Amino acid sequence: MGLFLYSKCFFVHVVLIFGFLGVHRVYASETSLTLDYYTSTCPTVFDVVRKEMECAVTSDPRNAAIIVRLHFHDCFIQGCDGSILLDDTFTLKGEKTATTNIHSLKGFELIDKVKNIAESECPGIVSCADILTIAARDAVILVGGPYWDVPVGRKDSVTASFELANTNLPTPDESFLSIISKFLYQGLSVTDMVALSGAHTIGMARCPSFRSRIYGDFRSTSIKNPISESYLSNLKSMCPPIGGGNNNITAMDYVTPYLFDNSFYQILLNGEGLLNSDQEMYSSIFGIETRDLVKKYAADPLAFFQQFSDSMVKMGNIINSESLINGEVRKNCRFVNT
């Protein structure tokens, strides 16, 4: 049972934090998401997405992590509805400039390119939300990760939520239990949290995201050896404690930064996780269940791949119920149809 043994107070805390948000979610089993949604209306869509992702990842492997992160942020704000792709207008405040997004999200032009091709082949058929979800799957495959089937049939939202972008997304220095509560709120389990965090095996982080970690408890969690000391020294050289270096980035998996594998978890076992939020999964006193999962995925890459695939499908099935009623298929992913 692990973390679920702690107390009813924790779940009351979750309700108090998130009960007021007012975004209703339903899951794939309750909606029309299917594997064959585009079989008759746009049978080439999966090929279109795959070909464009192949070009993008071949030209720059970092594009894989960029698209996976974009999908994650989309789903955690108001469901996987493409709201993250909307630009600000006179009548709509988008999510791109939220504190949690402004310095961390890229890849919008790549999604635009895929959408334009899909529109030329199947006008008004394929949603931006589906394109992003399929692209995230293909991104993982292209850097060595697992395959999974992607249910499709999402609608694009006609709204965005700057406020939810600032409250729903986990942050690197957030408390361990608070991050767990954000996953639970989405209908995702502790197991899903640990598995989905494994995407950091191809992720990059800016200095402000790991500054408190490297000048905080990094030495107390890490194994004392020359490799670890050299790693920490390099991190400090690119990320000074005060001022400067904020735009410097480094890989969250310094062993195989462009390969989707389980070395991220092995780094956590060594106490060398770059982000506080990641290392807490192994080092936190509350991490009974998460610690065991980190050990499991560090030892068994196939178990990690299977759970990651299952958790990505589960996350991709988070639907904003309002988009089922009022949603649309945008012509341009950046703007609501007029």
| 261-307 pLDDT tens trace | 999 999 999 999 999 999 999 999 999 999 999 999 999 999 999 99
CATH number for region 33-170+318-337: 1.10.520.10
Q: Above 50 in pLDDT, residue 1?
A: no
User: Does the annotation place 310 within a ligand binding site?
Assistant: no
Burial class of residue 147 in the structure, from the number of CB atoms within 10 Å of its CB (0-12 exposed, 13-18 middle, 19+ buried)? exposed
User: Does the annotation place 138 within a ligand binding site?
Assistant: no
- Domain range list for the chain: 33-170+318-337, 188-315
User: Does the annotation place 112 within a ligand binding site?
Assistant: no
- H helix count then E strand count, the chain: 16, 4
Tokens 């299952």 -> residue = 310
CA distances (Å), 148 to each of 110, 112, 144, 231, in order?
A: 22, 24, 13, 34
Flag the least confident range among 8-12, 55-59, 116-120, 264-268. 8-12
Distance CA 123, CA 117 (A): 9
Q: Are 196 and 260 in contact (CB under 8 A)?
A: no
Q: Which fold has domain 188-315?
A: Peroxidase; domain 2 (1.10.420)
Q: Above 90 in pLDDT, residue 31?
A: no
Which residues face 205 on adjacent strands?
Answer: 250
Give the CA angle between residues 298, 5, 27 to the nearest 5°: 75
Task: Determine which helix (DSSP H) or strand (DSSP E) holds 205, and give its type and residue range.
Answer: strand 204-206
Q: Above 80 in pLDDT, residue 233?
A: yes
User: Does the annotation place 74 within a ligand binding site?
Assistant: yes
Give the CA angle between residues 328, 333, 337 to the nearest 5°: 45
Q: What per-residue confidence (pLDDT) applies to 328?
A: 98
Nearest to 164 by CA among 106, 77, 235, 81: 77
Q: Are 239 and 268 in contact (CB under 8 A)?
A: no
Q: Above 80 in pLDDT, residue 320?
A: yes
Q: Above 60 in pLDDT, residue 190?
A: yes
The DSSP code for 156 is B
Distance CA 132, CA 70 (A): 8
CATH topology of 33-170+318-337 equal to that of 188-315? no
Tokens 């310095």 -> residue = 103
Predicted confidence (pLDDT) per residue in 95-112, tens digit: 999 999 999 999 999 999
Q: To the nearest whole percent, how much of the chain has pLDDT over 70?
A: 91
User: Does the annotation place 83 within a ligand binding site?
Assistant: yes
Q: What per-residue confidence (pLDDT) applies to 25?
A: 61
Predicted confidence (pLDDT) per residue in 115-153, tens digit: 999 999 999 999 999 999 999 999 999 999 999 999 999
Which residues face 249 on adjacent strands?
Answer: 206
User: Does the annotation place 79 within a ligand binding site?
Assistant: yes
Q: On the CB side of 332, how many CA atoms lie within 13 Å of its CA? A: 8
| 157: phi then psi, degrees, rounded to nearest 5 | -75, 155
Q: What per-residue confidence (pLDDT) applies to 26?
A: 60
| 332: phi then psi, degrees, rounded to nearest 5 | -125, 125
Structure tokens at 328: 């649309």
Q: What per-residue confidence (pLDDT) applies to 325?
A: 87
Burial class of residue 94 in the structure, from the number of CB atoms within 10 Å of its CB (0-12 exposed, 13-18 middle, 19+ buried)? buried
- Mean pLDDT computed over every residue of the chain: 92
Q: What is the pTM of this model?
A: 0.92
Task: Determine which helix (DSSP H) or strand (DSSP E) holds 25, and give its type and residue range.
Answer: strand 25-26
Q: What per-residue confidence (pLDDT) applies to 224?
A: 84
Q: Above 80 in pLDDT, residue 334?
A: yes
Of the candidates 13, 71, 73, 103, the residue annotated as catalytic is 73
User: Does the annotation place 95 within a ligand binding site?
Assistant: yes
* Higher per-residue pLDDT: 244 or 330: 330
Coil/strand/helix, residue 209: helix
Q: What per-residue confidence (pLDDT) applies to 27?
A: 56
Q: What per-residue confidence (pLDDT) applies to 321?
A: 85
Tokens 């899951």 -> residue = 27
Please indicate whether residue 24 is annotated as part of the active site.
no
Q: What per-residue confidence (pLDDT) applies to 14?
A: 39
Distance CA 231, CA 303 (A): 28
